[in-house]
A and B are shown apart, each in its own frame.
Chain A
Amino acid sequence: MSDDELTLYPWRKKVKTLPESFKDPIENIIRVGHVPKLVVTREKVRETLGINRKPPTAYKHEDAREELEKLVKDTDLYDKATWSDRDDKTEDEG
């Protein structure tokens, strides 16, 4: 949220800690380039429909995902969405 939007929507709060429900989609965006992962069954459906098995997006182009990751690393979102939190949590729970 930009500072301009804070003026427009004064009840909104800046996100300091990423809500748990945001972590999976943001992790997917950084690691895949998109929110949903493309599963093999859907790739097969695409093929039967006569369209490319992999869409011509970051699903197909790893370099595109890498570029997105670089841009996100320029912000604090990358740290907020860090999966090391989750690893620590898993170890604690374990």
Chain B
Amino acid sequence: MTKSYALFLGCYIPSMQPFAEASLRRIAPRLKMKLIDMEGATCCPVPEIVRLANHDAWLYVSARNLALAEAIGKDVLTVCNGCWETLYEARENLVNDTQLLTEVNSRLAPLNKEFEGKIKVKHFLEVIVEDIGLKSLKDAFKQSLSKVKVAVQYGCKLYKSPNEKFVSYFDDILDTLGVKVVDYGAEKICCGFPLSLYSLDEAMEERSKFKLDKMQEAKADCMVTTCPGCFDVLEKAQLLLRREGIRYDLPMLNLMELMALGLGFKPQEIGLDKHRLKTDSLIAKLGLGGN
């Protein structure tokens, strides 16, 4: 049976990493997922900035996004770790505090919007494992990925999921896809994204470089993540560190892209040739031809 979701794209995927969005839109029908766009959604807003700067602004804007999903009548599908954190926690705040919900709805009322707490917020990993099922994923699987060794960048937010279940879900999906996961020993270290908001140089030196070194030492063929923030900063780090003569050549994929490859989509169909970091070595390893 097809399951429907209110799709929350966030900021970075549609604007900076459209190949991830294209992958999602390609794989969804194969996995019997119907995606309903949340027309007029805005930034979630980004927790590392807006929640710290002004909690009320963070909550009002989150509530507006939640109200859009509720008007559609479907649970929210988030494809960004940061968006999941914001919308999940904002929803928890609102449904557990009637007075707060009333106050926030008084702000939404002039916009003809209301949030009652009828819908839930789900992470992509949660939807694949709990709603779609790993068996369905396996049944849809077409292209062997067994030659690929991946380093996983879970991202800090996944460790905030109940009992860290999203971390296990990530592993379960990779296991179903048949890829080899390398243990590089720095999985729990932050990528540097929050630090990059203060200083990109410090983030690269103190966080990203450390992780990239470890991934390279573990001989990973690529890095895979579900976090567009991690993707962005680790990609920038690889590109900018080249100025210092440090070269990693570690292709980076969103999990949705890796799944699309496993489901038989060609690299060009999902935009692997549109990455700022070349993915040729990965494509060659998979035997799918160059870009």
Contacts and interface: CB of A to CB of B under 8 A. Distances in A.
**Does A associate with B in a complex?**
yes
Interface of A: 1-2, 5, 15, 18-19, 21-22, 25-26, 29, 33-39, 42, 45-46, 48-51, 55-61, 63-65, 67-68, 70-72, 74-77, 80-81
A68 to B, nearest CB: 5
Task: Name the interface size band of chain B.
Answer: 35 or more
B41 A75 contact: no
Given A26-B49, A49-B18, A72 B61 contact: yes
Contact of A71 (B14, B18, B61, B197): B61
Nearest to A73: B57
Contact of B53 (A18, A35, A55, A61): A18
B60 to A, nearest CB: 4
5 contacts: A26-B50, A55-B21, A57-B14, A67-B42, A76-B54
Interface of B: 9, 11-12, 14-16, 18-19, 21-22, 25, 37-43, 45-46, 49-57, 60-61, 64, 107-108, 110-111, 113, 197-199, 270-271, 274
A5 B61 CA distance: 19
Contacts of A29: 42-43, 45-46, 50
Chain A CB within 10 Å — which of B15, B107, B270, B271 has the most?
Answer: B15
Contacts of B64: 67-68, 71
Given A72-B57, A75-B57, 13 more contacts: A15-B52, A22-B49, A22-B52, A22-B53, A29-B43, A38-B15, A45-B271, A51-B22, A55-B9, A55-B14, A58-B40, A64-B42, A74-B107
A21 B22 contact: no
B43 A33 contact: yes
B197 A22 contact: yes
